Amino acid sequence: MLSLHAVNQFYGEKHVLWDLHLELVAGECACVIGAPGMGKSTLMNCITGHLPVHSGSMLWRPPQGGLQNILPLSARHHHQMGIGHLPREDRIFTPLSVEENLQIAMLAGNPPPGNVPHHIYDLFPALYALRHVRAAELTTEHLQQLTLARALMAQPRLLVLDEPLRHNPPQRLGEMATLLRRLTRELGITILMAEQHLAFIRRAADRFILLHRGRNVADGDICLLDSAIGDWMVP
C-alpha cells in the first residue's frame, strides 16, 4: 500500500530521519514506537504531506493499481488520495455542533455532501446522542471521539494517528484498541500510528516499527515487541 525508501528529513541543519525504510501492508495496524524525540511525529507528518522530505521516495499504490511517488504532492493531495490524519492537536470548530463538524469534514473529502454515514454513529454512539451539541460543550473524551470521527469522514484507505491515547484515561485503553481493530477488520482501513503506551500497542497493533534517533532499528510482528525493545526505548 505505501512504501518509503531511504527517506531523509531535516529541521534546518538537524538531521531527523535517516535513510528510513517502511513497508505498509493493506489492512494492518502498524505502530511506530520509540522514546520521545526519536522522529515518530516527524515521520507521521512526512507521510501525510505536512512536512517536506529532503530525499528518498514514498510510493503509494492506488486502488486501481500501479505505483505513484507522492513526495512532491501537497498534504491536500495526500488527503484526496485516501491518506487520513489524526494529528496531535485537535482541529475542531468549537462554535459548531458535532454534526456540523462532521459535515464540514465530509466536504473536504471525495464523497459528495450529504448526511453523516450511519457507520460513523455506530462506531461512536455517544456522538449520536450529542450530535446537536456545540463542540465547545463536549468533554475531552468526546472531543477526542469527534476528532477521530472527522478523520474517518473522508473514507481514508490509510489512517495516520499521532498518539491516539493522549487525551484518553487509562480505563479507555481497551475501548480504543477495540475501535482500531474494528476499523481494520470491518472497514478495511489500514492504520499507522505513533504511540508509546505499550499495553495499548500490544492490544491494538499487528506490527511494530521501532525508531531510534530517526532510524528504524527493528520491526516485526507485535508478538516480538517485548524482545525487540531492549535499551532502544531509552532516549
What count of residues does the chain have? Answer: 235
Q: How far apart are CA 228 and CA 212, in angstroms?
A: 12
- Ordered by where they begin, the domains of the chain are 1-79+157-235 (3.40.50.300), 83-155 (no CATH)
> Tell me: the pLDDT tens digits for 84-131?
998 766 678 999 999 999 998 887 665 555 688 888 999 999 999 999
pLDDT < 50 stretches in the chain? 234-235
Residue 196 confidence (pLDDT): 87
pLDDT digits (tens, 9 = 90+) for 214-231: 999 999 999 988 887 875
Angle between helices 140-152 and 98-107 (to 10 degrees): 30
Query: Would you state the pLDDT for residue 22?
Result: 94
Looking at residue 144, its pLDDT comes to: 86
Residue 171 confidence (pLDDT): 73
The pLDDT value recorded for residue 235 is: 44
Helix runs in the chain, H state only: 40-47, 75-81, 98-107, 118-123, 125-129, 140-152, 173-185, 198-204, 225-229
SS3 (DSSP) at 226: helix
Q: How far apart are CA 112 and CA 115, in angstroms?
A: 10
**Whole-number pLDDT of residue 3:** 94
pLDDT the model gives residue 126 = 94
pTM over 0.85: yes
